C-alpha cells in the first residue's frame, strides 16, 4: 500500500490538475480533451487523477466551480472600489472589455460547457445555472444601488456582450453594451 501523501502535496497536485484541465478545456473544449491529455498536461498519473475526481464530469464541475469563484472575485475587486453607483455599473463593462482582450479569450466557459454538455449532464447544467444566477445577483446588487429598475437589461447586455465577444473574438461588444447601459443610467 502506498504511503499517504502529505496534505500540502495533495493540495498542490489537485491545483495542478485543475489548472491543467481548465487550460485544456477552455482552449480546446471539454469533449475534445481526453483524460490522457489531462494526465500529460498535469504530470499526474491517471490513478491519482481518478482519486481526486472519479469521473471526467466531476473534474469539469470542479474546474467550473473554481473558475466561478476566481472570475466573480476578480470582477468584484475591479467594480467595488468605484464609489459612484452608476459608474460602478459601467465598470462591469470595462472589466468585461479587459477580459475580452486577454490572449486566449474564448468566450464564457459556462456557456461553452453548456453547449457541449448541458443537454447530457444535469450536474453541468446545474453548475452553469448556478454561475449565471450568481453573476445575475452580483450585477443586480450593483444596479439596485442606482435606484433605477434596469437590472435585467443590464444583466442581459453583459451576457450578450460575453457571448458576442466569444464568437467575434473582439472586445468591441463590451464597449457597445457599456454605451447602451450608460444611456439607460443617464450617464453621458
DSSP 81-135: T--SHHHHHHHHHHHHHHHHTSTT--S-HHHHHHHHHTTT-HHHHHHHHHHHHHH
DSSP state of 1: -
- Measure the CA–CA gap between 91 and 87, rounded to whole angstroms: 6
For the chain, which residues make up each domain, given as ranges?
1-54, 57-185
pLDDT (0 to 100) of residue 10: 76
d(CA 49, CA 16): 10
pLDDT in tens, 138-188: 999 999 999 999 999 999 999 999 999 999 999 999 999 999 999 999 997
**Cell digits for 81?**
472600489
CA angle 166, 167, 170 (to 5 degrees): 70
For the stretch 33-91, pLDDT in tens is 999 999 999 999 999 999 999 999 999 999 999 999 999 999 999 999 999 999 999 99
Residue 98 has pLDDT above 80, yes or no: yes
Domain 1-54 grouped into CATH 1.10.10? yes
Of 19, 13, 106, 28, which is closest to residue 63 (Cα–Cα)? 19
**Looking at the domain covering 57-185, what would its CATH class be?**
mainly alpha
Query: Residue 11 contacts by C-beta under 8 Å, 6 or more apart in sequence?
Result: none
pLDDT at 9 over 90: no
> What is the C-alpha separation between 124 and 122, in angstroms, rounded?
6
Amino acid at each position: 500500500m502506498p504511503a499517504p501523501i502529505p496534505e500540502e502535496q495533495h493540495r498542490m497536485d489537485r491545483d495542478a490538475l485543475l489548472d491543467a484541465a481548465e487550460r485544456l478545456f477552455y482552449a480546446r473544449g471539454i469533449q475534445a480533451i481526453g483524460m490522457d491529455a489531462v494526465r500529460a498536461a498535469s504530470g499526474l498519473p491517471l490513478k491519482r487523477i481518478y482519486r481526486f475526481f472519479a469521473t471526467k464530469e466531476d473534474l469539469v464541475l470542479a474546474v467550473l466551480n473554481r473558475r466561478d469563484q476566481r472570475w466573480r472575485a476578480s470582477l468584484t475587486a475591479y467594480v467595488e472600489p468605484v464609489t459612484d453607483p452608476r459608474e460602478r455599473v459601467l465598470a462591469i463593462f470595462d472589466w468585461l472589455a479587459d477580459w475580452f482582450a486577454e490572449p486566449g479569450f474564448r468566450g464564457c466557459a459556462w456557456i461553452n460547457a453548456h453547449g457541449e454538455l448541458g443537454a447530457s449532464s444535469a450536474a453541468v447544467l446545474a453548475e452553469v445555472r448556478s454561475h449565471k444566477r450568481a453573476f445575475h445577483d452580483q450585477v443586480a446588487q450593483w444596479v439596485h444601488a442606482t435606484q433605477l429598475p434596469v437590472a435585467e437589461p443590464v444583466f442581459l447586455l453583459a451576457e450578450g456582450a460575453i457571448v458576442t465577444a466569444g464568437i467575434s473574438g473582439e472586445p468591441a461588444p463590451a464597449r457597445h453594451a457599456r454605451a447602451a447601459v450608460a444611456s439607460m443610467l443617464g450617464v453621458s
